[in-house]
């Protein structure tokens, strides 16, 4: 079978073989594999399916067809809803441990799969770990919004908070986006 290198994979060689993606295993792989299987059991289509390990010791994932969006505010509501879905699927589970949820921790446009401009899934769950909802949402804002432009930042933040259903915790997200005090 032909191996076609895929873009991305900052530290790993990622290849496509047919309808699968192959990536080297890492120390965190067992957690990620169990998490992806949890998503599959619950019918959530926002992550690739874990299919096992190949003869070269690489994880095998289902290939998700689509494109990564450019950094923009297009699709922010859909991205926020996808985040809410996987957060809710992990809340109160063994995966979240003593934290609120499992956070993706790298919710950037390059790890988002879109079809016809609509975000449908997230890739690269290597950094997934227990955490707080607001932490993942702050990361999402930093990666998807131009925080230097107050108007764009305010509109994007409102869109994310409304679509996610953050409600009263919006102030907590706004605080998480503030730069640390100098000194």
The 10s digit of each residue's pLDDT in 129-147 is: 999 999 999 999 999 888 8
pLDDT tier, 168 (very low <50, low <70, confident <90, very high otherwise): confident
Cα–Cα distance between 115 and 57 in angstroms, integer? 31
Q: Which of 116-130 are b and which e, b meaning 16 or more Cβ less than 10 Å from the residue's Cβ?
A: eeebbbbbbbbebbb
Residue-wise pLDDT for 98-120, tens only, equals 999 999 999 999 999 999 889 99
pLDDT tier, 60 (very low <50, low <70, confident <90, very high otherwise): very high
- Cα end-to-end distance, the chain, whole Å: 56
Q: At 156, which helix (H) or strand (E)?
A: helix 150-164
pLDDT at position 117: 85
Strand partners, 113: 121
Pick from 37, 38, 36, 1: nearest CA to 20: 1
Three-state DSSP state, 98? coil
- Average pLDDT over every residue of 36-45: 98
Residue 80 burial (10 A CB sphere; 0-12, 13-18, 19+): buried
Cα–Cα distance between 92 and 158 in angstroms, integer? 27
Cα–Cα distance between 79 and 40 in angstroms, integer? 19
pLDDT at position 87: 98
Architecture category of domain 76-176 in CATH: Orthogonal Bundle (1.10)
Length of the chain, in residues: 183
How high does pLDDT run on average in the chain? 91
Question: Structure tokens of 161?
Answer: 């908070």
Window from 33-37, 136-140, 150-154 with minimum mean pLDDT: 150-154
Residue 72 clears pLDDT 60, i.e. is over it? no
Residue 143 burial (10 A CB sphere; 0-12, 13-18, 19+): middle
Q: Give how far Cα 23 sits from Cα of 56, 64, 113, 120, 163, Å.
A: 10, 14, 18, 21, 33
């Amino acid at each position: 079978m032909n191996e076609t290198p895929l873009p991305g994979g900052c530290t790993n060689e990622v290849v496509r073989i047919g309808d699968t993606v192959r990536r080297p295993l890492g120390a965190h792989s067992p957690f990620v594999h169990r998490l992806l299987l949890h998503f599959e059991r619950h019918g959530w289509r926002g992550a690739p399916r874990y299919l096992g390990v190949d003869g070269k010791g690489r994880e095998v994932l289902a290939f998700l067809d689509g494109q990564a969006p450019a950094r923009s505010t297009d699709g922010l509501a859909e991205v926020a809803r996808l985040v809410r879905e996987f957060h809710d699927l992990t809340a109160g589970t063994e995966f979240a441990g003593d934290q609120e949820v499992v956070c993706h921790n790298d919710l950037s446009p390059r790890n988002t799969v879109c079809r016809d401009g609509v975000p449908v899934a997230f890739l690269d769950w290597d950094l997934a770990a227990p955490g707080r909802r607001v932490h993942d949402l702050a990361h999402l804002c930093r990666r998807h919004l131009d925080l230097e432009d107050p108007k764009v930042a305010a509109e994007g933040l409102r869109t994310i908070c409304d679509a996610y259903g953050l409600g009263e915790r919006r102030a907590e997200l706004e605080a998480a986006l503030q730069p640390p005090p100098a000194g």
